Structure 1
Amino acid sequence: MLTACSTTKVATDQELFQNKSQRAEQLSQLNNWTIKGKIAFIEGDSKQSANLYWRQTQHTTNLKLTTFLGVNVLSLSSEDNIHILKANGKTYQDDNLEDLLNQVAGVRLPVNALVYWIKGLKAQHEDQITYSKTTNLPETLNAWVNNTYWQLHYKNYQLVNNLRLANQLTIKHQQLVIKMAIHTWELN
């Protein structure tokens, strides 16, 4: 079993440059990963931020958001389409993750698509990616999910076990802006 851990380090454009199809093929095979970092949700004058822990395998998702003091804000565990969400001292369960997040947190996040987008991959064939002229890596990704428009901007990348993975990205949907700063990628 392959395990890699990386913290943010600066890589040159030359080190990051990679053939688009080669990168897409490598990352499409990456099903087991963990990211740690920070996430911010901005909508109008409202701003919330948390520490982020996201563990993804082929059949499970574990996501935790905590305050800077380590207080649990939200905890999600999913296995075989059974989703359990703990927030505000209560536990919720549903077989539709997007509905569950919308009911509890008031946000309809396309989590199934985010599993691909976080790696800079299309979730659907129709998704549109623009690439950097200097690194050949995704700069933006535009997608329609459930009749809603999403736009991602990939700001920085790092090398993790010869894979080019984003460590700063912004996700926009209508008035909602989600900023992610990934400090650590672990590949298993």
Structure 2
Amino acid sequence: MPRFRLWLILPLAAMLAACTTIQVEPLPEGMTDQPPADWADKSEQLRQFDHWQLVGKLAIRQPSDSGTALINHWIQNGDQYNLALSSSFLGMGSTRLQGTPGFIELTLPDGDTYRSGDPESLLEAATGWQLPLNQLVWWIRGLPAPGDDFRLLFDANQQLAIIRQSGWEIRYDRWQRFLNSHPSLPAKITALKDGKRVRLVISDWQDLGTAQ
């Protein structure tokens, strides 16, 4: 009987030991996943900052091609966006994107207009660019997009350095105090996924909510 019990106990002990061995992904050097004390307040301020305009530059590199575009303006009002891009890449010229998370209207330089309930697919079909439009509106403010799991990493200065979400790694290369009434905002962002790289350099932010 004791030997029989031993044969039962040994596999059980081994199984419990395996269950308690958790593989933890090492953090990049100098970073922590513990948010600073003011993160809850700062992130709430950024969420409420939902009527704005920015200008800057967009650069995309992907396995099939690459290119750059000027962001003549990106106006965001809640869920509604209005982007005006200009680029010689693939003959894009002046291209306008207007819509919401579930709808896009894309106007090409020749005046042709296309509409779709799948913004990212339409943009890729028209320009060849793969952009996570629905999430960029959050990432560009330094926030994870709602609805998907994410991980936040902070640097030694207690500043958000990386968001990992939906297979993308969003790196915040530079922050800047564009508006006195708001926390620092991203000035340079690099988003990476499966050989794709999207880089945004923002030269100016405006708060349209307080400008009215």
Structure 2 contact 188–201 (Cα < 8 Å) conserved? yes
Give the alignment partner of residue 172 of structure 2, picking from 146, 154, 165: 154
TM-score by length of 2: 0.70
Structure 2 contact 93–109 (Cα < 8 Å) conserved? no
The answer to whether the aligner puts 1:165 opposite 2:188 as a matched pair is no
- In terms of fraction of residues, the more helix-rich structure is 2
CA distance in 1, matches of 2:196, 2:94: 19
CA distance in 1, matches of 2:38, 2:174: 17
Structure 2 contact 101–119 (Cα < 8 Å) conserved? no
CA shift in 2, pair 1:78/1:168, >3 Å: same
- Match of residue 127 from structure 1: 150
- Match of residue 19 from structure 2: none
**Count of aligned pairs between the two proteins:** 165
- In terms of fraction of residues, the more strand-rich structure is 1
Which runs of 5 or more residues in structure 2 are unaligned? Answer: 1-35
Matched letter for residue 48 of structure 1: G
Structure 2 contact 56–201 (Cα < 8 Å) conserved? yes
Larger radius of gyration: 2
Structure 1 contact 154–170 (Cα < 8 Å) conserved? yes
- Match of residue 106 from structure 2: 85
- Match of residue 58 from structure 2: 39
CA distance in 1, matches of 2:195, 2:59: 14
Secondary structure in 1 matching 2:122:
helix
Identity across the alignment (%):
24
Q: Please, what is the CA RMSD of the aligned residues?
A: 2.3
Give the alignment partner of residue 127 of structure 2, picking from 101, 105, 113: 105
- Match of residue 69 from structure 2: 50
Which runs of 5 or more residues in structure 1 are unaligned? Answer: 1-16
Question: Is the deviation greater in 90-99 or in 27-36?
Answer: 90-99
